[in-house]
Structure 1
Amino acid sequence: FPILKERQRQRAGTMSGGQQQMLAMGSALMVDPDILLLDEPSAGLAPELVEDMFDRIDEINDAGTAILMVEQNAKKALRRCDRGYVLVNGENAYEGPGDELLQDQEVRKRFLGG
C-alpha cells in the first residue's frame, strides 16, 4: 500500500476510511498469517482505488495467504474467489465456485442486478 508510506507520520484516526482499511490490512499481514479475514475491504475507498484494493488482495492470495472475505461488491468478489457463499437473512442460500455463482440466473436476478 504505497500511499501509506506518504502517511507514515500521520495518526491513523486522521486518515481517510480507505487509508485506515489499508493500514488495518497491512497490520494484519505483518504477522504473516495463513489466513486473512477481510470485512468489506472496499468500504470507504474512492471508486478508483477499489480495483487496486482487489488487485492487492489477489497478490496476497497468490503469495500463499488464504483469504476469507465478506464483501457487498459481489460481482468483484465473485470474479476473484475460488468459492463463494450468498447469504439471505443470515442463512446460506447459494454456494459454489465464484464463476458459477456469477452465471447462476437466480443469483444474478436477485443479487447482481440481472
Structure 2
Amino acid sequence: MHSITVRTALCRALTTVILLPATALANEHAPLPSTVGLASVAQTIAWLIAVIGLAYACAWATRRFGMRPPLRRPGLIKVLSSTALTPKEKVLVVEIGNTWLVLGVAAGSVRTLHTMPASNDRED
C-alpha cells in the first residue's frame, strides 16, 4: 500500500514537471521573465527528477536488501534458536544464566515447554 502512494506521487510529480514548460510556453500574453530561461527550467526539472529518483532508489534498496541495524542487546537473556511453526506460532530456545528454556510463543501468549541446563559445547 505504501509503494502505491509513492508511485502515485511520483507519477503526479513527473506529469506536473512535463506539463509545466508546455503551459508556460503556451501562454503568449504573459511571457516568462527574462531571468528565467528555458535552459534553467530544463535544468531544474532534471534535478527534480534526479532527486525524486534517488529517493525512490534508496527506499527500494532499503526494502530489498533489508538495511537495518542488527538488534544486538547485551543482557541476561539470549535467544539461541527460533523456529516458526505457523505464521503466528514459533518455538524459541532461550538462554538465561546457565539454563535453557524452550518456549512456545503464540499470539498473545508465551509458555515454557521445557527447561534444561545449558550445554557447554555450543558454538557461538
Pair in the same fold by TM > 0.5: no
TM bucket by the smaller chain? under 0.3
The higher radius of gyration belongs to: 2
**The structure with more strand, counted as a fraction of residues:** 2
State TM-score, norm by structure 2: 0.22
**The structure with more helix, counted as a fraction of residues:** 1
Larger RCO (CA under 8 A, 6+ residues apart): 1
